[in-house]
């Protein structure tokens, strides 16, 4: 079967290098080398909604998760538990639930007075987990044991269909991250954090953002600013990114919402579907989070990745 899809009509993130350059290149090779492809169909089952693809291109599906079944597919996803070499206690493996009807629910829950939610990723950042002691010395190698990612990709169209959380005090996002962000001051080679959708408040406001050059003194950022969503009957929305060598085009419900031509990553990056409880980066739950009425969830219908397969109006041979 030909898996080329035409876009349908609209339907309803002083460091010159953290580590020596030759090591950065070695790390890059290891942690962007994906595990062998598992056998999976590269078409969308007819019971699922079609994607809202840009209409000026032909597209080929290369990776997807429709969240069918009753268990998260761990051949595709890992749980992120660490942040900047610290165990982030608010992230848990217990908050990702499939409802058996094709939906992933990243739930907000409370246990022993603390709040928890899940953060899913198809790869990992090389400085997230703490490093290891160097032999019998006092030194610590700053990079933890490296493992092949589940999925990394470069360029193409990335899309999620989801329903945002209802309660205040936690946030949700769909984004791409470089395994070696900040390893040099060239974001084209070190990568760019690309926040396709970030939602911090419960007023229908989202934003698109880019971060590069790491998260220290060299950190840089640009973004769309606040964007107000248009109401839908079922509160679901699609958020997409067309990443090309020339730039990024962001989409909300099938329509362009922001574009930028720099900086552009030319590195394979991994996908994250994330939630986080507010306040824990400073030690404890925020006052807003403590007032949340549970249960609540960030609900995801699907995540899909497409490659360009030609211009829609190009002459066929």
The enclosing domain of 226 has a CATH number of 2.60.120.200
Residues 6+ apart with CB under 8 A from 277: 90, 108, 115, 116, 117, 169, 170, 285, 286, 289
Q: What is the pLDDT of residues 148-175, one digit of tens each?
A: 999 999 999 999 999 999 999 999 999 9
222 part of a folded domain:
yes
219 part of a folded domain:
yes
The pLDDT value recorded for residue 311 is 83
The percentage of the chain sitting over the pLDDT mark of 90, rounded to a whole number, equals 83
Q: pLDDT tier at 15 (50, 70, 90 boundaries)?
A: very low
The pLDDT value recorded for residue 16 is 38
Q: What is the mean pLDDT of residues 287-313?
A: 94
Q: What is the pLDDT of residues 96-108, one digit of tens each?
A: 999 999 999 999 9
266 part of a folded domain:
yes
Number of structural domains found in the chain: 1
Q: Which domain holds residue 44?
A: 4-311
Average pLDDT score, the chain: 90
317 part of a folded domain:
no
Strands 220-223 and 205-212: antiparallel
């Amino acid at each position: 079967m030909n898996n080329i899809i035409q876009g349908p009509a609209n339907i309803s993130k002083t460091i010159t290098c953290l580590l020596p350059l030759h090591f950065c290149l070695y790390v890059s090779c290891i942690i962007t080398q994906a595990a062998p492809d598992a056998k999976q169909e590269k078409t969308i089952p007819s019971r699922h909604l079609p994607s809202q693809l840009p209409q000026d291109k032909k597209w080929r599906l290369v990776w997807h998760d429709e969240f069918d079944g009753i268990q998260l597919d761990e051949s595709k996803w890992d749980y992120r538990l660490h942040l900047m070499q610290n165990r982030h206690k608010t992230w848990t493996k217990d908050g990702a639930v499939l409802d058996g009807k094709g939906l992933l629910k990243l739930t907000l829950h409370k246990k022993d007075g603390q709040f928890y939610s899940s953060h899913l990723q198809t790869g990992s950042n090389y400085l997230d987990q703490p490093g290891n002691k160097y032999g019998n010395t006092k030194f610590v190698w700053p990079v933890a044991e490296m493992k092949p990612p589940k999925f990394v990709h470069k360029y193409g169209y990335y899309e999620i269909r989801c329903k945002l959380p209802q309660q205040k005090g936690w946030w949700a996002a769909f984004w791409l991250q470089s395994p070696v962000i900040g390893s040099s001051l060239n974001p084209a080679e070190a990568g760019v954090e690309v926040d396709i959708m970030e939602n911090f408040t419960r007023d229908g406001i989202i934003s698109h953002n880019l971060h590069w050059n790491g998260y220290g003194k060299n950190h840089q950022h640009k973004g769309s600013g606040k964007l107000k969503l248009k109401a839908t009957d079922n509160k679901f929305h699609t958020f997409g990114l067309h990443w090309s060598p020339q730039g990024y085009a962001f989409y909300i419900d099938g329509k362009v919402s922001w574009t930028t031509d720099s900086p552009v990553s030319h590195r394979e990056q991994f996908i994250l579907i994330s939630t986080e409880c507010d306040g824990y980066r400073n030690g404890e739950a925020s006052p807003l989070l403590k007032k949340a009425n549970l249960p609540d969830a960030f609900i995801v219908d699907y995540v899909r990745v497409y490659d360009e397969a030609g211009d829609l109006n190009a002459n066929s041979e």
